Amino acid sequence: MTRQRFVPAAVQPFKPPIATARRCGVSLLRALLLLAPLTLLLGAQPAAALNLSLEPLQPIPEKIPADPALAKLGEKLFFDPRLSADNTISCAHCHDLEHGGVDGLKHSYGVDGREGMVNSPTVFNSGLNFAQFWDGRAATLEDQIDGPVTGHVEMDSKWPDVLKKLREDQLYKQRFHTLFDDGLTANNVKHAIAEFERTLLTPDSRFDRYLKGDVNAINEAEKHGYALFKSYGCVSCHQGRNVGGNLFQKLGVMGDYFKENAMENKAGLGRFNVTGLASDKHRFKVPSLRLVVLTAPYFHNGRYRTLAETIRTMAKFQLGRHIPDEDIRYIIQFLYTLPGKYRGKSLEPKDRPLLHFGNLDSAPSGADS
């Protein structure tokens, strides 16, 4: 992807020789740190048109390069329940494209109604995430597919069985043989599905249009919501083109979240399950907020049914701040501008039920009832 970089005259792009990086960096750091607040202040006020290069959020690209024929095959497989042991569960079961790419459940369930350990993240824009799963254990979309297919509480399949079932289908056989030299293999199935998933982008949201220069794409309240989103610091982690999805962060930066909310299962240990490093305990992949208004319930365990309490909790434990309801509403309004279009159809909901919530101040942490 092309990187448009507008570099302010005051700030030179830094290209130090490798060896002297540290020395030079620190001094410069010193110099620029002074300017930091200034910039922030500057960024706090909504300008007439945005300088995209200065924005922490970036528009979703129209496309990620993908093979259309392969994606088409992947789409078929995405909806194919034969991937599951009892032929009832397909990918779409947990990642319903009609439902924002999620199933709307606290935990997903698999074959025989087995309850899963986590809340399913949306499949939309998942190609923009730098890793898959809450603990980032899958580096690529292809790797992610192994999880649900073989997961006991999910599809509970074995690849040989899946392949056997798929081979019986003449269409699959023919298509796979056309597209791949080695025909119908597990890797190729994964490739196909992943390729399809890469096409599940929701570009051209109102907010993206606003980012690209259409000042009237969002209203003032939404703009204000975006400003608050930035000033509160949500944007520190939920940044980039996917409004998140590109770093790991601890849940409970400013307070011990898990002290107050005990883990339901070991999934709560997050990245620690992958690296075993103590510093990775309770570290999760920062989720994308692109379709947050569509993907309730929230958090890795789907604990929070409303976006308002989620925001309140986040502010408390991540920012160490208290966000008043009014600001929450602005932020929510802003968040409603984030869903873009899939196959020409805008995913932004007409109604905004998430805006309607009771007084949260009375409840310090929204308990799930």
Partner 1 sequence: MNSAAGHAFSFRKIPMSAHLLILMLLSGLLIHDFLHLQRFDSAQLSRVHSLIDQLEKLDAETEQFMLQTINHTRFNYDDLTDDTLAMRDTYHLLQSELSDARFRDSLQDLHDSLTTQFTAIDEFKAAFSIWANSSRYLSVLIKQLIAAHPQQRLMLTELNRDVLNWQLYPDNDELKTQLLQQSKILRTTGMEELYRHLQIILTQGGEVLDAITASTTCGTPENAERLGEQFDAFYTQEMDQKRRNEQTLLMLGALLLAYLVLLLMMRQHDQRALRESEQRFRLLFDLIPDAVGIHQRGLWRYVNPAAMQMYGAKSADELIGSPVLERIHPDHRRQVAERIQNEVKKNQPVPLMAQKHLRIDGSSFYAEVQGIPFEERGQQSIMVVARDITQRIHAERESSRLITILEHTSDFVGMADRNGQVLYVNPAGKSLVGLAADHDVQQMQIADFHPEHETARLLHEILPKAEATGSYQTKAIFKHSDGHDITVSAVFTAHQDNTTGKATHFSVIGRDLTAELERNKQLEHTQRLESLGILAGGIAHDFNNILTAIMGNAAMANRGLEQSNPAREQLARIEAATRRASDLCKQMLAYSGKGRFIIKATNLTDLVEDMTRLMEVSIHKNVVIKYHLAENLPAVEIDTAQIQQVILNLITNANEAIGEKSGVISFSTGIMHADRHYLDQTLTDKPLPEGRYVYFEVSDTGCGMDEQTMQHMFDPFFTTKFTGRGLGMSAVLGIVRGHQGAMRVYSELGKGTTFKVLLPVSEQAVAVEESIDHNDSSPLTGTILIVDDEETIREVAAMMLEEAGFDTMSANDGVEALEVYKQHGDRITGVLMDMTMPRMDGKECFRELRRINPDVKVVLSSGYNEQDATSRFVGQGLAGFIQKPYSPEALIDKMREVFAAS
344: left (phi over 0), alpha (psi -120 to 50) or beta: left
Q: Is 143 in the site for partner 1 (CB under 8 A)?
A: no
Q: Please tell me whether residue 57 adopts helix, strand or coil conformation.
A: strand
Q: Please tell me whether residue 368 adopts helix, strand or coil conformation.
A: coil
| Binder among 279, 359, 362, 369 for partner 1 (CB under 8 A) | 279
Known active-site residue 154: yes
Site for partner 1 in 293-312 (CB under 8 A): none
The strand pair at 345-346 and 341-342 is best described as antiparallel
Number of amino acids touching partner 1 (CB under 8 A):
54
Contact yes or no for 267/225 (Cβ under 8 A) = no
Q: Is 13 in the site for partner 1 (CB under 8 A)?
A: yes
Q: Is 247 in the site for partner 1 (CB under 8 A)?
A: yes
Query: How far is the C-alpha of 172 from the C-alpha of 150, rounded, in Å?
Result: 20
Contact yes or no for 118/303 (Cβ under 8 A) = no
For partner 1, the closer of residues 18 and 369 by Cβ is: 18
Site for partner 1 in 174-233 (CB under 8 A): 231, 233
Contact yes or no for 126/103 (Cβ under 8 A) = no
Query: How far is the C-alpha of 297 from the C-alpha of 292, rounded, in Å?
Result: 9
**Please, what sign has the CA dihedral across residues 251, 133, 155, 101?**
positive
**Minimal distance, residue 254 CB to partner 1, in Å:** 6
| Binder among 138, 153, 274, 319 for partner 1 (CB under 8 A) | 319
**Minimal distance, residue 30 CB to partner 1, in Å:** 4
Task: Name the site residues for partner 1 (rule: CB under 8 A).
Answer: 1, 3, 7-8, 11, 13-16, 18, 21-22, 25-26, 28-30, 32-37, 39-40, 54-58, 130, 139, 231, 233, 236-237, 239-241, 246-250, 253-254, 275, 277, 279, 283, 318-321
Active site residues: 154
